[in-house]
Amino acid sequence: MTEIFTDLPEIDAETRRRLHARLVAAATEAGVIDVAYRTVDTPVGTLLLATTERGLVRVAYPSEDHAAVLEQLATRVSPRVLRVPARLDLAATELEEYFTGRRQLFDLPLDLQLSQGFRRTVLSHLTDIGYGATASYAEIAAAAGNPKAVRAVGSACATNPLPVVVPCHRVVRSDGTTGQYVGGADVKKALLRMEAAA
């Protein structure tokens, strides 16, 4: 079976780009793209961004394995996933402004379908933590209506599908130490330092 394909020519980058552009145009015209994605380079690594018609649905760090994240989106949202960078131009611009200190609040439509129940309630309170400020897991638990649910707040932050945009990095331990973070403890510290310096 392998021998059948040995005579096929390699596809160069320009041909691949043109074929992809035709695929995007045809899929857009047919209305069959449920999840569009792209990557953006940032000071904390290359982030994967994904959106639905409702809004930004996923931001993923390299440590989360972008291929695995795309597979999860195909399973949990829709199998109709395609790289369409233009659909995420606004998100990419706002992230670039954030990382260069020109934006303190994101103004993007969000699709929170990947978070349910108490976890979604927690996420709704994270945007109340101002730029350059922090709140403890206990404070967020109280704000979410369950003061004893400190561990559940930690779990909600750990599974936040929209890190950076929904600022779980601003949630710290009661003793002021940073705690864990989906992008890694060093990334969390870098984001907090960047915001504090602004």
Assess if residue 108 is contained within a domain.
no
Q: Give per-residue pLDDT as tens, 38-76.
A: 999 999 999 999 999 999 999 999 999 999 999 999 999
56-60 and 81-83 strand pairing: unpaired
- State whether 8 and 90 are in the same domain: yes
- pLDDT of the residue at 34: 92
**pLDDT < 50 regions, the chain:** 1-2
- State whether 51 and 136 are in the same domain: no
Assess if residue 106 is contained within a domain.
no
Total domains present in the chain: 2
For residue 131, what are the domain limits?
117-197
pTM: 0.85
Assess if residue 153 is contained within a domain.
yes
Write the CATH number for 188.
1.10.10.10
Q: Catalytic residue numbers?
A: 168
- State whether 142 and 190 are in the same domain: yes
- pLDDT of the residue at 181: 93
- State whether 93 and 123 are in the same domain: no
Give the type of residue at 153: V
At 127 the three-state DSSP class reads coil
